Structures are given as structure tokens and as C-alpha cells.
């Protein structure tokens, strides 16, 4: 996973609420056995419109996406995060996310920034003409117009993003604890093993 | 005395392997269900890093998303080829990956194949008090038997395969209490559609929802699975319903369920899981069952719910400006005008199936409405897709398949089918579908398809009249 600290550039002023992962990447793009190339299918129904934001001269390849409430709701498909990453997006800024999507985003080096709607409204305005600056280390989103918004992030997620950490390697350090748990489970509740 | 705890807290506490310095915990996963769409990259990851599956005995793989629902074997019993090369490749990958990593594999042609969320409880593989994950958001379904079950992404699938654990933060708790008795024609699906309309598509975000109250306790296990299945549509990663005698009765004797003395020990443990008196939830929503009508969606978010007796709302009627904009967009996509009576909306397609509504009780409810009737002429495509081969066999033993086919509906092989249209079952662009599935998202049932979510009985009623219909009018 590519580490992430500071991201600056154009931010797509998308702003829609309840954007589900079927919209981010429709199911027919899921018929693949690799993670690559998902960007082609990203926001397919919206990009059918030739005047869409994502393919406009200003926002094509923009590293930041500004969205509305409950971004990434619906399906657990990690393909949504892969598709955003393939479009070049490293940061999403929204008032809230679905729980599964925000986890998937972090595991793919994409930072889900949570800001209140008022901040989103202001950033949507700035983003139409000017860049946005995101600083994970200091947990801020700023603009060249003295806007400065602080955001909260879980310290574990922050560390994973800053260091580009592989969670499986981290968990493997707890191998003994997992073994001890399994042993105790077998002793306390042996019926938990599938009977057949 | 220990602090009173909720059902969720008890299951969580019993699964903490290790707590990190922050609130993150390493949580043990008791059951892992794997299907063909979200697993290939996880198996590839294991291979690339030289890792193995830690607990193949706790894992089952079954294809469901891509499988065609037409015949899978020819007259001689040979496997028929899958026409779509991409689907075929994904199915072949699962068939190869599962045995290679020592995982139980249920083939698409096996009698017990079906949708993962139907197969898990049906096989007794899903048990109360367990943690269950699957690379599919409707894993929330298994909460209907009292399991803490949730959908995960492919990186997490790989993490569980390698370590049998997940790094998680505890969720907040939300109680949705439905008290009283529902009226005639109101099913578990109507209860959960109504709840989703009340709490909104993000109402449960960050929470695990426990469904309580007399209307929930009165539901069969099938009905409880339907309710918990759509917890995710209200934003909650998981739903829960306390296991009780109804649950135990359903699970007893199923292939992977505990047997003999183990069964008694298991039941004793499961009985200890119910939320303690005095335990508190972070949020509680109370719903009067009498307020729930047969329900239907009008828009492209599952929160867009009205009673079948209602009308298409005016976007201006919503207080929130972003909801106004979303509703206007939804209506344009759905081709609906504000003020239209829902019962005047014609439908050309009917889909009875999905992990929400494809169990035997669902098929019985649909068959009861359609028996002795025929689909309307304007209904061009109407399919019934049982949730598993065992559901299909049971339905056929009861003669339900004949009721459907006599009425002009097609009787299919089990799978996810037109719920997400990854296989050939799609709703044509611009056409409507009365669907018993869980999501009315843009393009969900095929590009341009317009979905109205309903119960199985309501889908059957729509098939008969060719428009969205109040099933109570067709009931004897």
C-alpha cells in the first residue's frame, strides 16, 4: 500500500448524498479476478453523460473527491475503493461514510476525511476553481483562502495510512494470542466447531 | 455483579483475542463464507505472499453471484458450459482455489448449493453467538439467528483467510423495537422496509442494530433473516435478533449444528446471550407494528419507502435540501411524477428471489397469492429463484413450482440472479421490476432498470395485476 501524508490538487465537487457502491462501480465490472483497471468502470452511469465532472478538463485525474452524506453505502465490494484509486483519487471528503467503505478505502491507501456539511459546502465552492490541501499528519484540510478545517481520524487508521501498513503482517505478530484463543475456545465451547 | 450487557456486547466480548492500545480489537471469526466474486483477489494475495488458510474447517465456499439460473446439467448429467467467459473464469477460480487451500466447496451443481446467506443457516453452519463474515454486505442476514455477522471487503477476506481474525473497532448499539401485531398482508419484508424508511439509509451507520419487540419475536427464523438481511440498507453493518426457542427449533438437526450433549451445552450458552435487563443502547427507535402497511419503494435509495396506499412524494416535501435534490434525481431515473398513486404504477418484470426473500416461507407466501391466477399480459418477464437447492426441492415437494409455472412465472435454479444482475438475469433499461430483493439502486438490476422493492406476496400480486398492488385486495 502506498503511504499517504499530504495530498494537494483539484477536488472534484461531486457532493451527492447516499452514493452507493453500485454507482461507484456497477456489478458487471466485478467479473474479474484482479484488482487492476477498475477506473474504466468507475461512476459509469454518471460518466455516460459527456459533460460529467470526472472526465472534464479540470477534474480528470483529480486526487480529491468531495461527496455527500453516507458515501459508499450498500455493497461491500472493495472494487469501489480500487476504482477510485485507479481514477487517481487519494482522498474523499464527506460528512459520513458507510462503515464498510471507509474500511476498504483505508486498506487501499485512500483517506476518508469526515467534515461537517458546512465545511463540505465551503470546499465545494472553492473546489470549482481552486485546489484543496489535505494534511493527514496534522489532520487538516485547507485552501489558499485561509479556510482551515480539522478532522478526526482513528489513530490506528492514521498510522496504517501514514506508514502504508500491511494489516496481515501486523496481525501475524499476534499469532500466539490467536493460538491461545483457539485453544481456550476448544476447551470452553467445543461445540463451536462445525459438527460435520 | 457485572455490568448489564447487550446481546452485541456479549458476542463482542467473547471474541476479543487482543485489545490494541487504541480501541481497536483483534476479533476472532468463527465462520467465513466465501463466494466467487469477492474472493479471487484474496486467494491471489495469499498465493503471492506464500500464506495458507489458517482455519479451512471454519470456511465454506459456494458460488452464487454469477451462476446462471437456467439448467446447469444436460440430460446426461454433464455440466453445461457458462456462456459468459468472465463469469465462467470467476466460477472456475473458486472451484480451483477452494480445494487448493483445503476449503469445503459446494459446487453449483450440488443439491445444497444456493445463496451463501441462505446456505449458512440452512446447513446449521451459521450459529447463534458466533461471528460470521463474508465478502458481501448482506452477511448481516445471519443476525436473524443471533450471530454477529457482517460484510467485509476483499482485503479483509484475505485477512480472515490468513489469520481467522479481523482488526475491528467496537460499534455503537441501536435498538429498533417493533411492538404489537402486524396486520394482514404485512410480512417481515414490510417491517424492514418500513424501518428503513423511518431511520433512513444512514440511520444505523456506525451501529449494530438489535431488533426487539413482540412483532420481531413473533417472526419465524425465515422472517428474522429477512429483517436482519437489510440492516445494511439502514447503514448498520450488522443486525441482531436474540436467539430463542424459535431459533433453536430451526437449527436442531441441521448438518453442521451441534449434536447430542454438545447441542444441550450450545443451547444453554445461547440462552445466556440475550440482552440483560438494564443494559442500555446508544440509540433506540420504537415502532408500532400497527403502523406498518404492505410497503413499496418509489426511488433509488432503500429509504424511499411508502405504504402501497401512498403516492410518489414531491421532492419539495423533504426538509433537507440534499434529499430534495436526490429525490428529484431519483424520480427522473424512475420515470415517476410526484403525486402518482403507487397502485397506478405498471410493472413489466417480476423478480421473486435474493438472500432477502428466497426461503421456503417466502415462496409459500408468493404462491398463496398467485394460486389459481395468471400473470397479467403486460408482465413480460417473471422469475422465481429459490435461495438454495434445498429450498427448491422443498418447494417442489409442496407443489409450489407448479403454482408458479401454471401462472406463467418461470421456475429457476438457485442463485443471486436479478438482485444484482451479474448473471444473465437482468431487467431491461427503462422497464420496472417489482422485486423482492434488497436494493433499488440506479442500475442495480441492469443498466437503466427501475426497481420497486416489495415483499414476496406483493410481488405475486403485482404479477397478477401488472401494476404495483395492495396484496390485501387479493387476499381471500
Which H/E stretch holds residue B43? helix B40-49
Judge whether A177 lies within some domain: no
Residue carrying the nine cell digits 442495480? B444
CB contact under 8 A, B22 and A155: yes
Is position B257 within any domain? no
For residue A183, being part of any structural domain is answered with no
Q: Which domain holds residue A127?
A: 6-165
Q: A12-44, pLDDT tens digit by residue? A: 999 999 999 999 999 999 999 999 999 999 999
Alpha carbon distances (Å) from A111 to A105, B88, B358 = 7, 35, 38
Q: What pLDDT is stored for residue B23 in this prediction?
A: 84
Query: Residue B173 in 3-state DSSP?
Result: strand
Co-location of B129 and B220 in the same domain: no
| Crossing angle of helices A155-163 and A99-107, rounded to 10° | 30
Specify which residues B33 forms β-bridges with. B60, B134
Parent domain of B37: 7-168
Domain count, chain A: 1
Cβ–Cβ gap A154/B169 under 8 Å: yes
| HSE-up (13 A, CA, CB side) for residue A32 | 19
Domain-embedded: residue B463: yes
Which of A16, A182, A194 is facing B256, going by the closest CB pair? A194
B146 and B281 belong to one structural domain:
no
Domain membership flag for residue A184: no
Query: In chain A, which residues have their Cβ closer than 8 Å to the Cβ of B84?
Result: 31
**Structural domain includes residue A179:** no
With respect to residue B259, please indicate whether it lies within any of the assigned structural domains. Answer: no
What is the pLDDT, as a whole number, of residue B21? 83
Rg of chain B in Å (alpha carbons): 22
Q: Are residues B126 and B176 both part of a single domain? A: no
Residue among B163, B237, B269 minimizing CB distance to A172: B163
| B176 and B161 both lie in a single domain | no
**pLDDT tens, N- to C-terminus, chain B (476 residues):** 589 999 999 999 999 999 988 889 999 999 999 999 999 999 999 999 999 999 999 999 999 999 999 999 999 999 999 999 999 999 999 999 999 999 999 999 999 999 999 999 999 999 999 999 999 999 999 999 999 999 999 999 999 999 999 999 999 999 999 999 999 999 999 999 999 999 999 999 999 999 999 999 999 999 999 999 999 999 999 999 999 999 999 999 999 999 999 999 999 999 999 999 999 999 999 999 999 999 999 999 999 999 999 999 999 999 988 889 999 999 999 999 999 999 999 999 999 999 999 999 999 999 999 999 999 999 999 999 999 999 999 999 999 999 999 999 999 999 999 999 999 999 999 999 999 999 999 999 999 999 999 999 999 999 999 999 999 999 96
Interchain contact, B443 vs A190, CB within 8 Å: no
Q: Which three cell numbers stand for residue B344?
A: 397506478
Which of A18, A30, A103 has its CB closest to that of B201? A18
Please check whether residues B359 and B392 belong to one and the same domain.
yes
pLDDT over 90, % of chain A: 96
Q: What is the DSSP string of B295-332?
A: EEE-SSSTT-EEETTSBPPPGGG-SSHHHHHHHHHHHH
Identity of the residue in A34, A99, A190 whose CB atom sits nearest the CB atom of B237:
A99
Instruction: Indicate the burial class of B200 (C-beta count within 10 angstroms; 0-12, 13-18, 19 or more).
Output: buried
pLDDT interval class at A1 (50, 70, 90): confident
On chain A, the residues whose CB falls within 8 A of the CB of B329 are 16
DSSP assignments along B212-279, one per residue: ESHHHHTS-HHHHHHHHHGGGGGT-SEEE----HHHHHHHTT-TTS--HHHHHHHHHHHHTTSPPTT-
Give a yes or no: residue B416 inside a domain: yes
Residue of A nearest to B156 (CA): A104
Give the distance from residue B340's alpha carbon to the nearest chain A alpha carbon, in angstroms: 24
**Domain containing B193 — which CATH number?**
3.40.1060.10
Asked whether residue B338 falls in the same domain as residue B383, the answer is: yes
What DSSP assignment string belongs to chain A? -----EEEE-EEE---SS-BHHHHS-GGGG--SSSTTGGGGTTHHHHTSTT-STTSTTTTT-SEEE--TTBTBS---THHHHHHHHHT--EEEES-B-HHHHHHHHHTT-EEEE--HHHHHHHHHHHTTS-EEEETTTTEEE-TTS-EEE----HHHHHHHHHT--HHHHHHTTHHHHHHHHHHHHHH-GGGS---
Tally of structural domains, chain B: 3
A21 belongs to a structural domain = yes
- Model confidence pLDDT, tens digit, residues B372-422: 999 999 999 999 999 999 999 999 999 999 999 999 999 999 999 999 999
What pLDDT does B114 receive?
98
- Hey, are the CB atoms on A168 and B127 less than 8 Å from each other? no
Grid coordinates 422472517 are at which residue?
B223
| Nearest to B40, CA basis, from B69, B73, B68, B66 | B66
Q: What is the CATH number of the domain that holds A133?
A: 3.20.19.10
Pick from B142, B168, B194: which residue ends a domain? B168
pLDDT digits (tens, 9 = 90+) for A66-80: 999 999 999 999 999
- Which grid cell is B350? 417480476
The pLDDT assigned to B1 comes to 57
Same domain? For B181 and B217 the reply is yes
Nearest to B239 by CA among B325, B117, B349: B117
- Domain assignment present for residue B254? The answer is no
pLDDT interval class at A196 (50, 70, 90): confident
Last residue of a domain, one of B233, B260, B291: B291
Residue among B392, B383, B384, B401 nearest B360 (CA): B392
Whether residue B263 lies inside any domain: the answer is no
For residue B121, the domain's CATH number is 3.30.499.10
Does B286 lie in the same domain as B211?
Answer: yes
What phi and psi values does residue A146 have, to the nearest 5 degrees?
Answer: 70, 10
What is residue B369's three-state secondary structure? helix
Q: Please give the Cα distance from A63 to A59 (Å, whole number).
A: 9
The reply to whether B284 and B302 lie within a common domain is no
Within-domain flag for A49: yes
Residues B309 and B431 in one domain: yes
* Amino acid B476: pLDDT: 67
C-beta separation of A89 from A4 below 8 A: no
DSSP B102: T
Q: How confident is the model at residue A166 (pLDDT cuts 50, 70, 90)?
A: confident
Same domain, B63 and B184: no
Cα of B262 to nearest chain A Cα, Å = 5
Picking from B168, B201, B218, the residue at the C-terminal end of a domain is B168
Q: Is residue B264 part of a domain?
A: no
B348 domain-assigned: yes
On whether both B57 and B149 belong to a single domain, the answer is yes
Amino acid at each position: 500500500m502506498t503511504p499517504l501524508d499530504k495530498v494537494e490538487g483539484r477536488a472534484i465537487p461531486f457532493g451527492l448524498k447516499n452514493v452507493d457502491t453500485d454507482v461507484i462501480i456497477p456489478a458487471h465490472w466485478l467479473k474479474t479476478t484482479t484488482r487492476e483497471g477498475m477506473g474504466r468502470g468507475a461512476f459509469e452511469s454518471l460518466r455516460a453523460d459527456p459533460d460529467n465532472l470526472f472526465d472534464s478538463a479540470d477534474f480528470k485525474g483529480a486526487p480529491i473527491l468531495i461527496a455527500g452524506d453516507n458515501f459508499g453505502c450498500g455493497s461491500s465490494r472493495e472494487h469501489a475503493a480500487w476504482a477510485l484509486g485507479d481514477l487517481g483519487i487519494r482522498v474523499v471528503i464527506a460528512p459520513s461514510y458507510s462503515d464498510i467503505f471507509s474500511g476498504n478505502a483505508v486498506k487501499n491507501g485512500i483517506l476518508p476525511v469526515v467534515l461537517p456539511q458546512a465545511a463540505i459546502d465551503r470546499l465545494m465552492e472553492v473546489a470549482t476553481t481552486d485546489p484543496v490541501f489535505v494534511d493527514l499528519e496534522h489532520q487538516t484540510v485547507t485552501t489558499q483562502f485561509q479556510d482551515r478545517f480539522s478532522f478526526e481520524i482513528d489513530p490506528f487508521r492514521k498510522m496504517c495510512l501514514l506508514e502504508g501498513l500491511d494489516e496481515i503482517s501486523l496481525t501475524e505478530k499476534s499469532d500466539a494470542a490467536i493460538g491461545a484463543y483457539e485453544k481456550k475456545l476448544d476447551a470452553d465451547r467445543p461445540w463451536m466447531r462445525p459438527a460435520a | 455483579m457485572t455490568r448489564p450487557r447487550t446481546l452485541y456486547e456479549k458476542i463482542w466480548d467473547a471474541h476479543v483475542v487482543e485489545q490494541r492500545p487504541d480501541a481497536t480489537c483483534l476479533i476472532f471469526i468463527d465462520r467465513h463464507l466465501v463466494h466467487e466474486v469477492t474472493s479471487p483477489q484474496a486467494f491471489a494475495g495469499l498465493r503471492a505472499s506464500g500464506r495458507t488458510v489458517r482455519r479451512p474447517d471454519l470456511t465454506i465456499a459456494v458460488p452464487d453471484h454469477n451462476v446462471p439460473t437456467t439448467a446447469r446439467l444436460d440430460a446426461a448429467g454433464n455440466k453445461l458450459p457458462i456462456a459468459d467467459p468472465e463469469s465462467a473464469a470467476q466460477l472456475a477460480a473458486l472451484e480451483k482455489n477452494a480445494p487448493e487451500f483445503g476449503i469445503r466447496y459446494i459446487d453449483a451443481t450440488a443439491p445444497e448449493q444456493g445463496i451463501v446467506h441462505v446456505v449458512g443457516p440452512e446447513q446449521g453452519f451459521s450459529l447463534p453467538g458466533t461471528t460470521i463474515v463474508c465478502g458481501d454486505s448482506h452477511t448481516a442476514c445471519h443476525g436473524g439467528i443471533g450471530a454477529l455477522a457482517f460484510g467485509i471487503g476483499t482485503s479483509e477476506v484475505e485477512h480472515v483467510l490468513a489469520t481467522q481474525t479481523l482488526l475491528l473497532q467496537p460499534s455503537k448499539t441501536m435498538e429498533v423495537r417493533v411492538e404489537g401485531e402486524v396486520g394482514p398482508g404485512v410480512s417481515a419484508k414490510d417491517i424492514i422496509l418500513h424501518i428503513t424508511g423511518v431511520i433512513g439509509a444512514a440511520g444505523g451507520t456506525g451501529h449494530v442494530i438489535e431488533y426487539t419487540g413482540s412483532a420481531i419475536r413473533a417472526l419465524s427464523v425465515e422472517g428474522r433473516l429477512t429483517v436482519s438481511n437489510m440492516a445494511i440498507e439502514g447503514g448498520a453493518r450488522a443486525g441482531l435478533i436474540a436467539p430463542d426457542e424459535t431459533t433453536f427449533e430451526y437449527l436442531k438437526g441441521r448438518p453442521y449444528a451441534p449434536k447430542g450433549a454438545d447441542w444441550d451445552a450450545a443451547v444453554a450458552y445461547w440462552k445466556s446471550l440475550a440482552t440483560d435487563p438494564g443494559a442500555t443502547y446508544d440509540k433506540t427507535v420504537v415502532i408500532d407494528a400497527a403502523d406498518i402497511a404492505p410497503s413499496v419503494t418509489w426511488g433509488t435509495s432503500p429509504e424511499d419507502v411508502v405504504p402501497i396506499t401512498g403516492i410518489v412524494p414531491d421532492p419539495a416535501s423533504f426538509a433537507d435540501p440534499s434529499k430534495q435534490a436526490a429525490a428529484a434525481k431519483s424520480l427522473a431515473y424512475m420515470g415517476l411524477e410526484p403525486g402518482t398513486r403507487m397502485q397506478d404504477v405498471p410493472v413489466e418484470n417480476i423478480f421473486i428471489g435474493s438472500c432477502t426473500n428466497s426461503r421456503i416461507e417466502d415462496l409459500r407466501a408468493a404462491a398463496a397469492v398467485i394460486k389459481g391466477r395468471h400473470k397479467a399480459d403486460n408482465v413480460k418477464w417473471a422469475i422465481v429463484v429459490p435461495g438454495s437447492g434445498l429450498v427448491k426441492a422443498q418447494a417442489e415437494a409442496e407443489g409450489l413450482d407448479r403454482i408458479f409455472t401454471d401462472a406463467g412465472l418461470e421456475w429457476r435454479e438457485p442463485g443471486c440472479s436479478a438482485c444484482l444482475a451479474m448473471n444473465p438475469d437482468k431487467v431491461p433499461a427503462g422497464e420496472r421490476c417489482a422485486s423482492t430483493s434488497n436494493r433499488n439502486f440506479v442500475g442495480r438490476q441492469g443498466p437503466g432498470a427501475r426497481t420497486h422493492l416489495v415483499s414476496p406476496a406483493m410481488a405475486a400480486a403485482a404479477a397478477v395485476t401488472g401494476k404495483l398492488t395492495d396484496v390485501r385486495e387479493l387476499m381471500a
